[in-house]
Amino acid sequence: MATLIGGLGTSHIPAIGGAIHKGLQQDPYWKPFFDGFPPIRDWLGQKQPDVVVMFYNDHGLNFFLDKMPTFAIGAAPEYNNADEGWGIPTLPPFKGELDLSWHLIDQLIAKEFDVVTCQEMLVDHACTLPLKLFWPEGDCPVTVVPVCINTVQFPLPSAKRCYALGKAVGEAIQSWDSDKKVAVIASGGLSHQLDGERAGFINKAFDLQFIDSLESNPEWATRFSIHELVEKTGTQGVELLMWLAMRGALGAAGGAQLRRVSGNYHIPISNTATAVLALESV
């Protein structure tokens, strides 16, 4: 069976891609963010996962306000970058992992998650930036299964439902008939609001409590409704749903033993609270 080595979480602000393209990683504005990645890259170099399952949110490439699935899974042989133009200008296609894609789809539907199957899917900065941040040199060494969660158009899935989705994905990964090593990635957040009366809103205290809860009490955030999470984190900060799904995949509290590899929190970048975290299954 496949081995689930651990989970990663990172922010996916488009301007990060621009900083990578311009070589600004050591610029004083960017350095505190990029300094969080070397320990995690070292760990990934030791573990060498073959596949990543990416929990992320689409920004209008595949789905728009008139057609917005709650959950969608990519089942394509490759995924082409079609970013809005603020990030990394060009990237080669990312290879898909078809066998795992269909295994996840079959297993999730069997567990009554009504997922949309996408045999063609474009990806933007929400999917491409984590891969470039964790594997900055050369071509991406892992294959990818994108799992899109709606955080754009209400009604949104509840925190409890996204955590349950993650658990089902983790169980499916561990039942996959393969000798490959798999990591799960959460892309998005943390607290931020880009528009309206609260534009620029950041909630550091909640962010830090949320990050700590992922280790010791992952169900903590599931007690809040979506509207409460928007109030606490901002309209775009609700992207923390991806982090809950990632943690769910690693096992519920009292299940899988986890080790915190490394983490970093920095504010602000583009009016956004940024974070990176790696948790290892042990």
pLDDT in tens, 115-142: 999 999 999 989 999 999 999 998 899 9
Q: What pLDDT, on a 0 to 100 scale, did the predictor assign at position 85?
A: 66
**Half-sphere exposure (Cβ direction) of 34: Cα atoms closer than 13 Å:** 19
Question: Is 125 an active-site residue?
Answer: yes
Catalytic residue among 12, 125, 227, 266: 125
Q: Which of 53, 76, 78, 278 is nearest to 182 (CA)?
A: 53
Strands 181-187 and 3-10: parallel
Q: How confident is the model at residue 5 (pLDDT cuts 50, 70, 90)?
A: very high
Domain count, the chain: 1
Find the domain containing 273 and state its range: 3-281
* Spatial distance between the Cα atoms of 128 and 79, rounded to a whole number of angstroms: 10
Question: Is 266 an active-site residue?
Answer: no
- Token couple for 230: 């928007």
* Spatial distance between the Cα atoms of 184 and 279, rounded to a whole number of angstroms: 10
Question: Which region among 24-33, 103-112, 241-250, 252-261 has the lowest average model confidence (pLDDT)?
Answer: 252-261
pLDDT at residue 252 above 50? Answer: no
* Spatial distance between the Cα atoms of 252 and 194, rounded to a whole number of angstroms: 32
**Residue 77 Cα distances to 99, 144, 276, 277, angstroms:** 10, 9, 28, 28
Q: How confident is the model at residue 209 (pLDDT cuts 50, 70, 90)?
A: very high
CATH number of the domain that residue 254 is part of: 3.40.830.10
Cβ–Cβ < 8 Å for 95, 180 = no
pLDDT at residue 253 above 90? Answer: no
* For residues 76-98, average pLDDT: 87
Q: How confident is the model at residue 61 (pLDDT cuts 50, 70, 90)?
A: confident
Catalytic residue among 12, 192, 227, 266: 192
Q: What pLDDT, on a 0 to 100 scale, did the predictor assign at position 196?
A: 84
Q: Which of 268, 220, 230, 208 is nearest to 16 (CA)?
A: 268
What's the mean per-residue pLDDT of the chain?
93
199 alpha carbon, distance to own chain's centre: 23
Q: How confident is the model at residue 106 (pLDDT cuts 50, 70, 90)?
A: very high
pLDDT at residue 203 above 80? Answer: yes
* Spatial distance between the Cα atoms of 193 and 201, rounded to a whole number of angstroms: 5
